[in-house]
């Protein structure tokens, strides 16, 4: 490249730079998610963001594999993909050690994913997701537990019951009804399901127009008008009674759900109950996250099937959800103490004090600049560090310090031995 | 793809599946690294693993960019790369907000990187790395702090002073000496430096042979024999006195270093002191991690320069280092309690108890299977969960439980209210 051509400072389109204040938000969300997952006995796992492409060809949705993946050929001629979702990877990992593992497995991970999409509100090309899955439980207890886990995470993030609704359906029966009642073929059913998926995002007239655009005037209108009837038919399907049972069990635990025969999910591998946590804010009617049962996915590998239920909760939608409800915490630095120096000749003294305080588990940082003391304090304040101590000749000689609280302006006399206790007492 | 062709369960070549026991090791390493970094007042940041390729073309080492990157063209015709290292990304982030940020910046991240290499001991195609950097300090205090941080992380991981040596050099003066003393041109210097980089990994005879292979019989021998003289010349270089000063300052803090005029680093952007933490085990003489000063890197962007010092510590080498010294902790589940059920009809009771205990911050999981009680206990034991409670008719009626410690076999009578305290007391 030319010597003088300057490089852009922008991150790659649809990805984000997490400056410390941004990452603090991200960590707030996923620290809570991790804590609740461990609280439910889930164990953390991980694998590479780069996977063989064949992993996605068989079971993910068509749109996701063909149009939305980041796939390329490596220098050794292998077809590889930046994972668009976690489920195929966890299924691969379970299949690989299926005989050594002790069931039920309760696993979670917090990792990044890539989809080639037009970046828009709630959608980016790279996003982070909590994935939680339970393997080896055939009974409905698995769905009860997984949905309870999602619910408790929402509560731990500060959400109220009325902020979201949990919708439940059974994968495949809507398709079945369309096929038997209306004789739609496979591709027509797909088109209809995609339209239904947009139902909550558009006005009724736009929604009706979508049917007409995709199916023509007559058939489109017919499909739009028959939707209510289809819904009723679906509810009568025997499989749908599983949803009714699940709803009751969750209600006994104080978790309300809504049975929704029109609920669809973007992946093709679900074999039973599917669910979605949905934002109730009328201005943000959208799915927050969801999941379901996928008992057949291990069949992809040379492995017997293992029943599985799981969900993926993405950071982008959750952050929006928390932001509009003012549920995100105010940023505060994890650094507790900033040591200012009256002149650079006290840098070594400050450094010695810092070393001693660090051993007492105080997070402390030292000024090395020749800035004026007021400017140093202002650096600490800008960085949201709550305490400062200024070090000069007196302090070095007497080993007596003034601990200043930048929020209240209060000062407290401390010795090297009492600093740690003073800080811990106030922050507790 | 064909319906019946089975997919491999292997992860992509050179990447790893982290099962919970593997991730526990990884988390042990990086949790300590994170704790010490925060202890030094460093703040966590992150950015995408996918970056515009131009970011690496200007300043990373030739070999790394041309042969070792995962670069490809996205569907929108952008040339993108899976980051092989963090420094260009952090420089980009700092340049982007250079006017809003408050210096000095002390930042760290724990993220993954990709290099297309032949996987071998200590080297994989995907690895994870702690990166810690300080921006805005011109003085040697920055090097003192960054090396102290690396040192304290090693100690926090359980390493002894004699397990590793910290080597220090000044970037570029070896090259300068070669050019002025021996009239080597740019590409010859590069070849010589690459040979020197292998010095500790091969026998003396193999090392001599490398010179001969690359420079021919006469010149190769001459270069091999003159190395000692070059080393002395390098030590006399004025810049090298900075290394002497740094060594003294670190020694005052109880951190021993070794001045090594032959130390080279794989990246081209270093402008001052460079350092490497080196394993002293005679069977594993290799660099554990390293870094240095790179004051000019922001010049890549349309930005004034900001002085910077940093290092990157990878998981693969550190894990090997800890493993051979038996410093890795034994795996224990974060789940504290497994609730067994004498029959499936008590599942709901067990689930109620679990919900109550979770609210008291006990990590608890429930049996939903119809396995015999002995088999349930054996599941808990295999999963390294330390406590079990079995729930049957008596327990449901009397609300009295037996808390069993699977390690000692001891049993303790508890009530719903005393379980949490009993577990917390024993584990503390």
Q: Mind listing the pLDDT tens digit for each residue in B220-233?
A: 888 888 888 888 88
Same domain? A47 vs A127 = yes
The reply to whether residue B16 touches residue A333, judged by beta carbons under 8 angstroms, is no
Nearest chain A Cα to B93, which residue? A9
Tell me the mean pLDDT in the region A168-181.
88
Helix orientation angle between A217-236 and A240-252, rounded to the nearest 10 degrees: 60
Flag whether A249 is in a domain: no
Cα separation, A17 vs B93, in Å, equals 7
- Same domain as B380, residue B298: no
Domain total in chain B:
3
> Which residues from A are below 8 Å from B246, CB to CB?
none
- Is B212 a residue whose pLDDT tops 80? yes
B4 in a structural domain: no
The strand pairing partners of A403, in sequence order, are: A389, A412
Q: HEC profile for chain A?
A: CCCCCCECCCCCCCCCCECHHHHHHHHHHHHHHHHHHHHCCCEECECCCEEECHHHHCCCCHHHHHCCCEEEECCCCCEEEECCCCHHHHHHHHHHCCCCCCCCEEEEEEEEEECCCCCECCECCEEEEEEEEEECCCCCHHHHHHHHHHHHHHHHCCCCHHHEEEEEEECCHHHHHHHHHHCCCHHHHHHHHHHHHCHHHCCHHHHHHHHHHHHCHHHHHHHHHHHHHHHHHHHHCCCHHHHHHHHHHHHHCCCCEEECCCCCCCCCCCCCEEEEEEECCHHHCCEEEEEEECCCHHHHECCCCCCEEEEEEEHHHHHHHHHHCCCCCCCCCCCCEEEEECCHHHHHHHHHHHHHHHHCCCCEEECCCCCCHHHHHHHHHHCCCCEEEEECHHHHHHCEEEEEECCCCCEEEEECCCHHHHHHHHHC
Contact B71, B55 (CB under 8 A): no
A39:B358 CB<8 A: yes
Residues 6 or more apart in contact with residue B137 via CB below 8 angstroms: A368, A369, B103, B104, B307, B309
Residues B334 and B384 sit within 8 Å (Cβ to Cβ)? no
pLDDT of A192 above 90? no
Do B41 and B164 belong together in one domain? yes
Assess if residue B6 is contained within a domain.
no
What tens digit of pLDDT does each residue of B339-350 get?
999 999 999 999
Joined together, the tokens standing for residue A243 give 């949803």
Strand duo A105-114 + A70-73: pairing: unpaired
pLDDT tens digits for B25-63?
A: 999 999 999 999 999 999 999 999 999 999 988 665 555
Instruction: Check: CB of residue B247 under 8 Å from CB of residue B263.
Output: no
- Cβ atoms B363, B386 nearer than 8 A: no
Predicted confidence (pLDDT) at residue B421 exceeds the cutoff of 80: yes
- Residue A314 contacts residue A111 (beta carbons within 8 Å): no
- pLDDT at res. B372: 95
CA angle B252, B258, B260 (to 5 degrees): 140
- The 10s digit of each residue's pLDDT in A78-109 is 999 999 999 999 999 999 999 999 999 999 99
Contact, A216 vs A224, CB < 8 A? no
Write the pLDDT tens digit of every residue in B265-324: 877 789 999 999 999 988 777 899 999 999 998 888 977 899 999 999 999 999 999 999
A313 part of a folded domain: yes
Q: Which residues of A touch B23 (CB under 8 A)?
A: 44-46
What is the arithmetic mean of pLDDT over A382-391? 96
CATH of the domain at A394: 3.40.50.800
Its ipTM equals: 0.93
Tally the residues of chain A.
Answer: 428
**Nearest CA distance, B87 vs chain A (angstrom):** 13
Q: Do A314 and A343 sit in the same domain of this protein?
A: no
Which residues lie across from B128 on neighbouring strands? Answer: B112
Domain end position, chosen among A301, A324, A347: A324
What is the CATH number for B286? 3.30.930.10
B253 and B287 housed in the same domain = no
Residues of A in contact with B80 (CB under 8 A): 12
* Helices B186-197 and B173-182, packing angle to 10 deg: 130
Is A300 in Cβ contact with B139 (below 8 Å)? no
**pLDDT in the model for residue A2:** 43
The answer to whether the beta carbons of residues B273 and B212 sit under 8 Å apart is no
DSSP bridge partners of B339: B366, B389
Higher pLDDT, A65 or A145: A145
> Is B67 inside a domain boundary?
yes
Joined tokens for residue B252: 């005052």
What percentage of chain A reaches a pLDDT higher than 90?
72
Residues B326 and B341 in one domain: no
Mutate to test the interface with A, among B19, B76, B361 (most CBs of A within 10 A): B19
Mean pLDDT for A241-258 is: 96
Last residue of a domain, one of B331, B358, B386: B331
Average confidence (pLDDT) over B385-397: 96
Contacts of B315 in chain A (CB under 8 A): none
pLDDT at A282 over 90: no
Out of B296, B331, B366, a domain closes at B331
By Cβ distance, the residue of A52, A145, A365 closest to B12 is A52
CA–CA distance, A268 with A60 (Å, rounded to integer)? 6
pLDDT of residue B59: 63
Q: Residues A23-66: pLDDT tens digits?
A: 999 999 999 999 999 999 999 999 999 999 999 886 655 555 66
Q: How far is CA B85 from CA B47, B49, B78, in A?
A: 12, 9, 20
From chain B, the residues in CB contact with A11 under 8 A are 47-48, 51, 92
Residues of B in contact with A52 (CB under 8 A): 7-8, 10, 12
Question: Which residue range(s) make up the domain with B202?
Answer: 176-260
**Same domain membership, residue A298 and residue A353:** no
- Distance between CA A414 and CA A422 in Å, rounded? 8
Contact check, Cβ <8 Å, B20/A43: yes
Q: Measure the CA–CA gap between A114 and A69, rounded to whole angstroms.
A: 7
The residues with which B123 forms a beta bridge, in sequence order, are: B120
Q: What is the pLDDT of residue A120?
A: 83
Look up residue B417 and give its two tokens. Answer: 């209210």
- Please tell me whether residues A423 and A301 are part of one structural domain: no
Asked if residue A117 and residue A26 are part of one domain, the reply reads yes
Torsion, Cα A211 A213 A216 A217, to 10 degrees, reads 80
- Single out the residue of B211, B259, B258 nearest to residue B234, CA to CA: B259
Q: What is the pLDDT of residue A408?
A: 93
Residue B4's pLDDT is 55
* Statement to judge: residues B140 and B252 lie in one domain: no
Would you place residue A193 in the very low, low, confident or very high pLDDT band (cuts 50, 70, 90)?
confident
Flag whether pLDDT at A140 surpasses 60: yes
Whether residues B325 and B344 share a domain: the answer is: no
Q: Indicate the residue of A15, A18, A141 with minimum beta-carbon distance to B368.
A: A141
Q: B358 vs chain A: nearest CA distance in angstroms?
A: 6
Q: Is residue A240 part of a domain?
A: no
What tokens appear for B157 in the block? 């991981």
Domain shared by A275 and A419, yes or no = no
At residue A111, φ and ψ (nearest 5 deg) are -145, 175
Q: Do A92 and B11 touch (CB under 8 A)?
A: yes
**How buried is residue B324: exposed, middle or buried, by Cβ count under 10 Å (0-12/13-18/19+)?**
middle
User: 3-state SS of chain B?
Assistant: CCCCCCECCCCCCCCCCECHHHHHHHHHHHHHHHHHHHHCCCEECECCCEEECHHHHCCCCHHHHHCCCEEEECCCCCEEEECCCCHHHHHHHHHHCCCCCCCCEEEEEEEEEECCCCCECCECCEEEEEEEEEECCCCCHHHHHHHHHHHHHHHHCCCCHHHEEEEEEECCHHHHHHHHHHCCCHHHHHHHHHHHHCHHHCCHHHHHHHHHHHHCHHHHHHHHHHHHHHHHHHHHCCCHHHHHHHHHHHHHCCCCEEECCCCCCCCCCCCCEEEEEEECCHHHCCEEEEEEECCCHHHHECCCCCCEEEEEEEHHHHHHHHHHCCCCCCCCCCCCEEEEECCHHHHHHHHHHHHHHHHCCCCEEECCCCCCHHHHHHHHHHCCCCEEEEECHHHHHHCEEEEEECCCCCEEEEECCCHHHHHHHHHC
Residue in the structure block whose two tokens are 């795996």: B331
The residue-averaged pLDDT of B176-196 equals: 85
A354-371: pLDDT as tens digits: 999 999 999 999 999 999
pLDDT at residue B146 in the model: 98
Residues paired with residue B109 on neighbouring β-strands, in sequence order: B131
């Amino acid at each position: 490249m030319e010597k003088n051509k300057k490089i852009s400072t922008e991150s790659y389109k649809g990805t984000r730079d997490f400056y410390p204040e941004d990452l603090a938000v991200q960590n707030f969300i996923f620290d809570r998610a991790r804590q609740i997952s461990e609280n439910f006995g889930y164990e953390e796992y991980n694998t590479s963001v780069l996977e063989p492409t064949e992993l996605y060809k068989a079971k993910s949705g068509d749109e996701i594999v063909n149009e939305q993946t980041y796939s390329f050929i490596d220098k050794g001629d292998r077809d590889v993909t930046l994972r668009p979702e976690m489920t195929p990877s966890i299924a691969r990992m379970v299949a690989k050690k299926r005989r050594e593992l002790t069931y039920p497995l309760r696993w979670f991970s917090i990792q990044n994913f890539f989809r080639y999409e037009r970046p828009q509100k709630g959608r980016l090309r790279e996003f982070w997701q909590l994935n939680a899955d339970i393997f080896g439980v055939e009974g409905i207890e698995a769905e009860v537990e997984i949905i309870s886990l999602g619910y408790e995470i929402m509560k731990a993030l500060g959400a109220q019951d009325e902020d979201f609704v949990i919708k439940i359906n059974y994968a495949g029966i809507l398709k079945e009804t369309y096929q038997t009642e209306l004789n739609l073929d496979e591709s027509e059913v797909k088109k209809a399901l995609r339209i239904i998926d947009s139902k909550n995002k558009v006005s009724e007239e736009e929604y009706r127009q979508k049917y007409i655009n995709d199916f023509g005037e007559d058939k489109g209108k017919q499909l739009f008008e028959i939707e209510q009837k289809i819904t009723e038919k679906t509810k009568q399907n025997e499989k749908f009674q599983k949803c009714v049972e699940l709803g009751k069990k969750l209600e006994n635990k104080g978790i309300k759900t809504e049975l929704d025969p029109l609920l669809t999910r973007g992946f093709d591998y679900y074999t039973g109950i599917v669910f979605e946590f949905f934002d109730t804010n009328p201005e943000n009617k959208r799915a927050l996250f969801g999941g379901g049962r996928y008992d057949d996915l291990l069949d992809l590998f040379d492995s017997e099937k293992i029943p599985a239920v799981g969900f993926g909760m993405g950071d982008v939608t959750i952050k929006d959800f928390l932001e509009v409800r003012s549920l995100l915490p105010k940023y505060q630095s994890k650094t507790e103490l900033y040591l200012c120096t009256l002149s650079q000749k006290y840098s070594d003294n400050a450094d010695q004090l810092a070393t001693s305080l660090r051993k007492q588990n105080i997070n402390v940082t030292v000024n090395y600049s020749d800035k004026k003391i007021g400017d140093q304090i202002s650096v600490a304040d800008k960085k949201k560090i709550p305490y400062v101590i200024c070090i000069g000749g007196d302090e070095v000689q007497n080993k007596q310090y003034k601990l200043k609280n930048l929020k209240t302006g209060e000062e407290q006399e401390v010795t090297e031995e009492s600093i740690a206790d003073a800080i811990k007492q106030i922050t507790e």
